[in-house]
Amino acid sequence: MSNEPINTSEYINWVKKIKLKIRQSQIKASVSANKELISLYWYLGNEIVEKQKKARWGSSFIDQFSKDLKADFPEIGGFSPKNLRYCRAFYNFYSNGSIWQQLVAKLQNNKEWQQCVAKNDNALDQNLIIPEITGQIPWGHNIHIFTNSNDFEEAYYYITETIENGWSRDTLALQIKTDLYKREGKAITNFKSTLPKPQSDLAQQTLKDPYSFDFLTLTKPYNERDIENQLVNHITKFLLELGKGFAFIGRQYHLEVGDSDYYIDLLFYHVKLKCYVVIELKNTKFIPEYAGKLNFYLSAVDTYLKSDTDNQTIGILLCRDKNKIETEFALRDFGKPMGVSEFSLTEIVPEELKGSLPTIDEIENDMKLLDRK
C-alpha cells in the first residue's frame, strides 16, 4: 500500500463530511453541558429561595452556603456568593407569577409545545421549561437579560435575538443598554400599503426608532456629510445598529437621471428582504418635503439598479426629530415603501465654548439662590 496522501475528490469530500459531523457533535455537547449548568443554577436558586422562606435564615446564609459548596467542590466554579445570589435572582425572575403566565401564554401558541403538552403531563413544569429556554445561551448572557428585563416578553426577545444573531456578551449588553427591545419595529412607515405580506411585516421589524449612534462623537457645528463620514468610518458598529441583513453598497452613491447628477447619502442591500435600501440623513426635524426627495431616489434605484429578482426598494429617512401625525400624513399617499426614524449621537462641546458654559456647581448655587427668594 502506498503511504502517499490521498487527494481524490471522493476522499476530500468524505473528510469534510466527517469534520462537519465532529463539529456538530461538539456544538451539541456544548449546548447540552450548558443546559445542565443552567438547570443546576435554577435548582440552586429554587432551593435558596425556599429555604430562606421556611427557615428564615439571615443574609449571611449565602456566604456560608458558598463556603460549604466550594469546600467539597473546589474544582467547580460558580459557587461564589455573588453567583449564588444571581441564581436566586434568576429563579425569582422566572418564577414570578406574571412572568410565568406570559411564558405559558407564549408556549400555548407554539405548535411544538402543544404536541409536547399532549404527550407529557410535566411539559409545563417550570423546572423543565425554564432551563430548556434559557439553557440555549451562556449563563453570563442570562445574567444580563434577567437583571435588565421588565417582563418575560422582553427577556424572551433578547434570548431569541442572541441565538439568532450569535451575539457576544458585550454585544448583548450594548443592545440592552440602547433598549433595542423597545426600539425595534417602531419606525413610522407606509409599508402596510406599499408592500405585500409577509414582506411588509419583516420590513417593519427591520427598522428601529430611534437609532442610537452613540459610537459617533461630533463637535458642533456639523452637517449630514460629517455624520455620513463617521458612520462609514465606524461601519462595523453602524451595521450592528442597523441590524442583521444589511450589506453596505456605498455612500454618496451616484445616479444620473436625465442630464442631472444625484447622490444618495447611503445605499445598502438587505439580504433577507432581498432589496436595495436607501438611507437619507437629515440633521434637522422631519419636514414633508424630505419624503418627496426620498421617493424620487427610490424610483431611480428601482429603474437603474433593481433587477427582476429584487424586491421593491425601501427608503429610510433618518432625522433628529419628527412629529408623528405630520410624518404619517407625509407618507400616506406615496406609492414607494418608506420609513422615518429619529437618530441620536454624542455631541461634544467645542473647547472655546466650555469656559462660557456654567459648571454643575454654579448651576446648583444659582438654584439655591432662587430657593431663598
Q: What is the pLDDT of residues 239-277, one digit of tens each?
A: 999 999 999 999 999 999 999 999 999 999 999 999 999
Q: Give tens-digit pLDDT for 161-208.
A: 999 988 999 999 999 999 999 999 999 999 999 999 999 999 999 999
Note the pLDDT of residue 322.
Answer: 96
Which residue is associated with the grid cell 421589524?
Answer: 205
DSSP one-letter code for 1? -
- pLDDT at 365 (0 to 100): 57
pLDDT on residue 30: 67
Asked if 291 and 331 touch (Cβ cutoff 8 Å), the reply is yes
pLDDT above 80: residue 298: yes
The answer to whether 343 and 213 have CB atoms below 8 angstroms apart is yes
Higher-confidence position of 281 and 347: 281
pLDDT at 50: 86
Whether 241 contacts 218, CB under 8 Å: no
- Asked if omega into 221 is within 30° of 0 (cis), the reply is yes
CA 119 to chain CA centroid, nearest Å: 35
> What 8-state DSSP symbol labels residue 306?
-
**Per-residue model confidence (pLDDT) at position 77:** 83
DSSP 167: -
The residues, any chain, with a CB within 8 Å of residue 187's CB and separated by 6 or more, are: 204, 207, 208, 209, 316, 339, 340, 341
**What radius of gyration, in Å, describes the C-alpha atoms of the chain?**
27
**pLDDT tier for residue 115 given thresholds of 50, 70 and 90:** low
Q: What is the pLDDT of residue 5?
A: 57
54 pLDDT band, cuts 50/70/90, is confident
- Per-residue pLDDT, 357: 47
The DSSP secondary-structure symbol of 168 reads -
CATH class entry, domain 188-353: alpha beta
Question: How is the chain split into domains, by residue range?
Answer: 11-177, 188-353
Hey, how many other C-beta atoms are within 10 angstroms of the C-beta on 341? 22
- pLDDT of res. 4: 57
- For residue 150, CA distances in Å to 95, 96, 117, 180 come to 13, 11, 27, 13
What's the chain's average pLDDT? Answer: 85
Question: Could you give the CA distance from residue 44 to residue 50 in angstroms, rounded to a whole number?
Answer: 10
Please state, in angstroms and rounded to a whole number, the distance separating the CA atoms of residues 245 and 207: 12
Distance, in Å, from the CA atom of 79 to the CA atom of 272, rounded to the nearest integer, reads: 43
DSSP assignment of 56-110 equals: ---TTHHHHHHHHHHHH-TT----SHHHHHHHHHHHHHHHSHHHHHHHHHHHHT-
pTM for the full model? 0.77
The residue with greater pLDDT, 229 or 28, is: 229
Phi, psi of 15 (to 5 degrees): -65, -40
